[in-house]
Amino acid sequence: MATKGEQFAGLTVALVTPFRDQAVDEAALRKMVDWHVAQGTDCVSPVGTTGECPTLSHDEHERVIAVVCEQAAGRVKVVAGTGSNSTREAVRLTKFAQKVGADGALMVAPYYNKPTQEGFYQHYKAVTEECDLPIMLYNIPGRTAKNMEPETIARIGELPSVVAIKESTGSMDQASQIAALSKLTILSGDDSLTLPLLALGGRGVVSVVGNIVPRDVKAMISAFEAGNIAEAQKWHFKLFPLCRDLLGLSTNPIPIKGAMKVLGRDTGEVRLPMTSLSAAEEQKLIGTLRTYGLL
């Protein structure tokens, strides 16, 4: 079945926001974008959960989007995090992302204030009425405190500029319902569930582990798309310890930043209330990276 949002199929990497001495490290951010272009990443997504958007100021949030769009320069797609628990703020950020050249907006369900299902619909409807940038919904009730139900997602998906969803409930039942009820392009929001989600009709992933092994994640997706299930399974089982041991060590993005520090690609700095890995956790992380072959 043809879906909306085919342009966002494949590998989207949820970019970390690099810090140096607690300031956004723009040089490192530009270098990251160039690296993903070289690696063949399909799309990058700045200032989402992995990009520590909750601790960025409004100015920093916009600056990160602008820098990524400028550095991408059409060489890789950019889906900017523009969600908020304030509809007005979401409109403002989405308009900004459109102005600086983003290809789409990743819009998390409004968090903390726990809207009704009608509230979710009206939130996205209000944004689409003010902006015509393609929107990727982002449903992650573990962080937002409220699930967008499949029927609500299908209803929101009827809005013309809503084209895809980052499915982060961890529920294959919910993903199945979304696939049955809507024409949205479904992307996994959990690295360990990418292959199962592809089997349900998903078209890719918004990946955290793609910050360090984008080619391997893309190889898994490509193998599945080509009908080579055994090859896709081989990649899944190779990637699984990274997804489980590395990403499961602590709250995202603490472990991925720790891994990038060990690999010499980031300072590893996070902003409070996030704290870095303990010495014991870092040793476990190093063991996982070594077993994978990255060290």
Q: How far apart are the first and last CA of the chain?
A: 42
Q: Which of 4, 77, 146, 166 is catalytic?
A: 166
Q: Which of 138, 218, 257, 292 is catalytic?
A: 138
* Residue 138 appears among annotated catalytic residues: yes
CA angle 199, 200, 206 (to 5 degrees): 85
- Which DSSP category does 245 fall into? I
User: Half-sphere exposure of residue 173, counting CA atoms within 13 Å on the CB side?
Assistant: 1
* Residue 166 appears among annotated catalytic residues: yes
The Cα 20–Cα 26 span in angstroms is 9
Question: What residue type is assigned to position 233 of the chain?
Answer: Q
Question: What residue type is assigned to position 195 of the chain?
Answer: L
The Cα 147–Cα 218 span in angstroms is 29
Catalytic residues: 138, 166
